[in-house]
């Protein structure tokens, strides 16, 4: 992340640089990002990271390309349509209340870890229709996913990529097998809206990959986003007061009823976008402006860096939720917390619905005191997280 900042500072928003055998392009202007992301299906595929050779999610929506991706997107889209997400609201409210009741008895100290547990619980309870979920089972799942995501990250950053099946990857196999077994054994029940079951692939392996993709991608990014929103709110008392006034309304929180809460979510996503780096590689020679992208080149677009463009976001390092109130949206492709183009995140509407609900209900029930100092160090893995956790004290409100 520091390298990217230095490159843009020294060379501008379009930087070509070699690294080993590869040629990289760092693209940090909305026009370049829009061209690459909007033309994904016509000359690009996803770059290094989670690739389709991944034995856990290689045939899931996150990694497949072309007709296979289009088919998966079409099948799963009914689950994430705004009308269906709206029908999930009572279930989200019920599941959140169950978790907050546990927190009232045993408040968490690391709000980032707690948000990961909560986000996974909401996804499994509502999107999957899972029943009989215990907090202990949720924590085992988040432990498995957290270890696997770190493993995938470090594997993507080295040229020494031993096959996944090698037996000496003992920790990988232990976490992977436990995750697969848990997802396979999950019992489900019907919901008064569309869940993923009935919309998954018929092929058993592809079905498993799609379930695991939705398990991982469906909660990790949202969990980090909610954690940063709560932490930033706790470190800005005036913002907390504005959110608390909204939280006391006896309605389901939405961007319309809770504009300050929604603004805090957007500003948190601007400063700490969970998906902080997008990569693409050309499948053919692609002309762009006065240059050419060639097969094998690696194109990098960093929402974390793009969101700090002072020409688009004045005082880019400052937490200013009010920038989202009463003004129009930023230019296309200048704000990319959910990516862009045809591969834009399918769960965007659900993620924002969850985030506004959770932040509002948590603030209504608890007073938050940040124990981690402001501007904590971050770790830019496959998703952006705090390096050492976000420690907070949650005290039940009495007023």
pLDDT of residue 58: 85
Q: How would you write the pLDDT of the chain (399 residues) with one tens digit per residue?
A: 999 999 999 999 999 999 888 899 999 999 999 999 999 888 899 887 667 778 888 889 988 999 999 999 999 999 999 999 999 999 999 999 999 999 999 999 999 999 999 999 999 999 999 988 888 889 999 999 999 988 888 887 777 777 777 777 888 899 999 999 998 888 899 999 999 999 999 999 999 999 999 988 889 999 999 999 999 999 999 999 999 999 999 999 999 999 999 999 999 999 999 999 999 999 999 999 888 999 999 999 999 999 999 999 999 999 999 999 988 889 999 999 999 999 999 999 999 999 999 999 999 999 999 999 999 999 998 899 999 999 999 999 987
Enclosing H/E stretch for 279: strand 278-282
Under a CB-based contact definition with an 8 Å cutoff, are residues 275 and 303 in contact?
A: yes
Secondary structure of the chain: what % helix, strand, coil (to 5)?
50, 15, 40
Q: Could you tell me the pTM of the whole model?
A: 0.94
Query: CA 335 to CA 163: how far, in whole Å?
Result: 37
- Please give the pLDDT value at position 155: 82
Residue with tokens 């949202």: 222
What are the structural domains, with CATH classification, of the chain? 2-396 (1.10.630.10)
Helices 348-365 and 220-234 pack at an angle, to 10 degrees, of: 40
Can you give the pLDDT at residue 21? Answer: 84
| Predicted pLDDT at 131 | 86
Q: What does the alpha-carbon distance between residue 371 and residue 145 come to, in Å, rounded to a whole number?
A: 26
Taking the alpha carbons of 4, 7, 8, 12 in that order, is the dihedral positive or negative? negative
Long-range contacts of 293-297 (CB under 8 A, 24+ apart): 293/25, 293/43, 294/23, 296/22, 296/23, 297/22, 297/23, 297/24, 297/25
Give residue 289's pLDDT.
87
Please provide the DSSP assignment of 131-147 as one string.
Answer: -S--HHHHHHHHHHHHH
> Nearest to residue 122, comparing CAs of 250, 215, 197?
215
pLDDT at residue number 343:
94
């Amino acid at each position: 992340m520091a390298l990217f900042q230095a490159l843009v500072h020294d060379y501008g928003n379009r930087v070509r640089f070699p690294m080993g055998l590869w040629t990289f392009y760092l693209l940090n202007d909305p026009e370049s990002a829009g061209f690459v992301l909007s033309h994904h299906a016509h000359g690009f595929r996803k770059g290094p990271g989670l690739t389709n050779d991944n034995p856990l999610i290689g045939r899931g929506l996150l990694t497949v390309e072309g007709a296979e991706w289009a088919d998966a997107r079409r099948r799963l889209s009914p689950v994430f349509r705004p009308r269906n997400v709206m029908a999930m609201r009572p279930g989200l409210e019920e599941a959140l209340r169950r978790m907050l009741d546990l927190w009232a008895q045993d408040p968490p100290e690391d709000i980032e870890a707690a948000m990961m547990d909560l986000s996974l619980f909401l996804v499994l309870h509502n999107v999957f229709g899972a029943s009989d979920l215990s907090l202990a089972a949720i924590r085992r799942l988040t432990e498995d996913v957290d270890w696997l995501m770190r493993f995938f990250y470090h594997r993507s950053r080295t040229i020494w990529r031993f096959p996944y099946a090698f037996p000496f990857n003992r920790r990988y196999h232990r976490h992977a097998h436990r995750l697969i077994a848990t997802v396979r054994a999950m019992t489900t029940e019907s919901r008064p809206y569309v869940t993923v079951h009935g919309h998954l692939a018929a092929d058993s392996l592809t079905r498993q990959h799609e379930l695991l993709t939705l398990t991982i991608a469906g909660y990790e990014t949202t969990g980090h986003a909610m954690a940063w929103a709560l932490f930033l709110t706790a470190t800005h008392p005036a913002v907390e007061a504005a959110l608390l006034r909204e939280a006391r309304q006896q309605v389901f929180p939405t961007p319309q009823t809770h504009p300050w809460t929604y603004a805090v979510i957007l500003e948190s996503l601007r400063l700490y976008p969970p998906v902080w780096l997008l990569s693409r590689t050309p499948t053919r020679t692609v002309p762009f402006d006065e240059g050419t992208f060639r097969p094998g080149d690696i194109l990098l677009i960093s929402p974390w860096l793009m969101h700090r463009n002072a020409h688009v976001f004045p005082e880019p390092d400052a937490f200013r939720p009010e920038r989202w109130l009463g003004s129009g949206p930023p230019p296309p492709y200048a704000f990319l917390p959910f990516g862009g183009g045809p591969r834009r995140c399918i769960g965007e509407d659900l993620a924002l619905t969850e985030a506004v609900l959770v932040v509002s209900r948590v603030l209504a029930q608890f007073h938050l005191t940040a124990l981690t100092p402001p501007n904590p160090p971050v770790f830019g893995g496959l998703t952006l997280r705090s390096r050492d956790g976000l420690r907070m004290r949650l005290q039940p409100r009495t007023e």
